[in-house]
Structure 1
Amino acid sequence: MDDDVIMFNCTSDPTAEELFEYFEYNPGGLACVILATVITVIQTIVMIDGIVWITKNIPHSERASSMIWIYSVWPVFCIVSLFGLFLPRAALLSNAAANLFLFPTIYHYLNLIVDYFGGEDAMIGKMKDFPVKYNRAPCFCCCCCVPEKLYTHVLKKKHFVKLEVLVMQIALIRPFLLLLSQIFIIDGTFPNDNALDYTQPGLWIIILTIVSTLTAMQVISTLHNATKPRLKAMHYSTIPKYLVVQFALLMTNLQNAFLAFAMAAIECGNPFPYKSRVDVWNCFLVIIWSLVFQPICVKYMRTLKGNVLYIPHQLKSSESYSVISLAEATGEATEDMNENAPLMTAGRLRSTGDSNMVDNISYGSVITV
């Protein structure tokens, strides 16, 4: 087995069979895999329970769908990352799978914000007195010294579409970069041993990943800070969803890049003495991070408070709806609200064609059914 120990000294990656044989000589690696497995099983149970609860208790199907995507992001990360621990040769693909789930989650986060307002037109109408300020972290927080008119604009539909594009660009760029990484690995030219070598493609892939990720994070931060005051006045809770999505984007993209730079300066060793140790470490850390963020999802998304202002009377009395005292859950709802407030038709309202409707109906105060 001594030859196998030398073989795994960052010169190659073991197969699953070789990995379990090698655990005899690597108790630290075995402990990491067992811990990750236990966490993943718990996260899977929590995810299933939360999905069932949201499906039963959030009356708006589109809102419930968006919340399910956000609620499930960290358990799904755990599941795909666990494969990367058991199959080191597939660790990069595990990171790719996590990104593929993250990108629709980002879209559903934006969709949830729009849904809280009642549609894009309603959001534009209600945001006219809340200009968007672009001097936000992580990239432009130092721009406070420039004239305010240069970084402040009133949100209009064309501006919102551009912001959506800047967020979703990562859904195209990141998979393409992961594909290039896999191609260079297969070809043998990807610089696993030195991520700081500017003559190799690995460094430039990392740089493009950082730029693309920071752009998406910047726009999400800008939209969150712009809409937060108005949604807070409507008693909607957006900060927890923002933190979950923002850090998921950070951990699945930038963490891998930071690890690549760090591992270039750290000598290879246990618990992951593999050629793809950067990707394996990333898989393990993503699972550990889920212990921080999934409790946030459970507390702020598996609840009516901050997500539903009230439930229409006809739905509340339905036998198919879970028996929950919304007044106790939110501390705000009243029967008078249920009877007198207007209802809307289902779906994401993108254009009403009637500006008076946008001004007169408090979209953020109703649940559409």
Structure 2
Amino acid sequence: MLIDRVSAVRVRIPYRRSHTQSFGPVPYSEAVFVRVSTDSGVEGFGEACVPAGPYWNEESAESMLAACEVYLGPRLVGADPRALGAVQDRMRVVSGNHFAKNALEMACLDIAGRAAGVPAHDLLGGVRRRDVPIIWSLGIGDAAAELDEMAEMHERYGIEIFKVKVGHEPLAHDLERLSRLAGGLDGRVRLRPDANQGWDEATALRALPVLEQLGIEALEQPLPRWNLTGLARLRNASRVPLMADESVLSPQDALTLAREGAVDLFALKLAKSGGTLPTMAIAAIAEAAGIGCYMGCMVESGLGTAGYLHACAAVPDLRWGCALLGPLLLAEEVLTEPIRFANGRIFVPDGPGLGVLPDWDAVHALAVG
């Protein structure tokens, strides 16, 4: 079985409401959907997604589309999609572009599972879990509106764990907002602020006593990704577990963070690491170092979310849950059968490959460019 064609389409999917991160409000996702075809007729699908533009990292919808169509796709023609390690080797000729590489590796994993007639997680070491605790991300910026949203997500989906985007407003505003949110759901709410690199070390140090008093579960990426020594100093001063996200892009990053004792937790993301295989390597380093893991996302649609869920099913430890909120935050559905959420959990699709199929009419209706 050999790859004979790679195609891609760029789409824009609006959010149900604006989602403010440390770099500002985000109204929609920009994504590239890839379709990898083989000479045996088996096809696979993948997704690369960014929040509106090159704000979280250097990649944009335009660059992802070009990488897939002009550089990476042609490198994969003639390759066996079932040999994921060799697929990754072929893509190394292109520097960076991890989001685009993840979309193509995801499509190849989809093909491998479909060809074997098994779910993708069976090819990643086998299933360890079939559902994962779901974390909802609050990014409106107004505590009253977020308390209402918190109650709605609990009533509809049983969610009690909430990530809170901070770092865009002054610290006093963020702490007052967190204080109000901590009383949500009659005190049962569990909060995890995510600063997306938006604080400096002095700001984070001022925040820590308040976060501890509020019973905050974890603080995600308070400092710029390069400031590993600052993270280590912060961890030594903190009783609140610290999580690395933007600071842990690769297995090499994971090894450095573990050696430096800089954080308690890793945020795994297929997109930032360039695919499932490097993400599994990061999870293995975390297991060896006694570092907890959680699975984040880039607000992918149900297609990308399915790829993430098969990694969730197979990684050694995912006690900190996942924030795979894309299918609920996005205003349009692009799968023939949606991802299932219930009782505070998200469920791994159980069909061959990724276990989902894109609705191409819906995808092309969202196409741009």
**The two structures share one fold, judged by TM-score above 0.5:** no
Larger Rg: 1
Structure with greater proportional strand content? 2
Q: Normalising by the residue count of structure 1, what TM-score does the alignment of the two structures yield?
A: 0.23
| RCO comparison, higher one (Cα < 8 Å, 6+) | 1
Q: Normalising by the residue count of structure 2, what TM-score does the alignment of the two structures yield?
A: 0.23
Structure with greater proportional helix content? 1
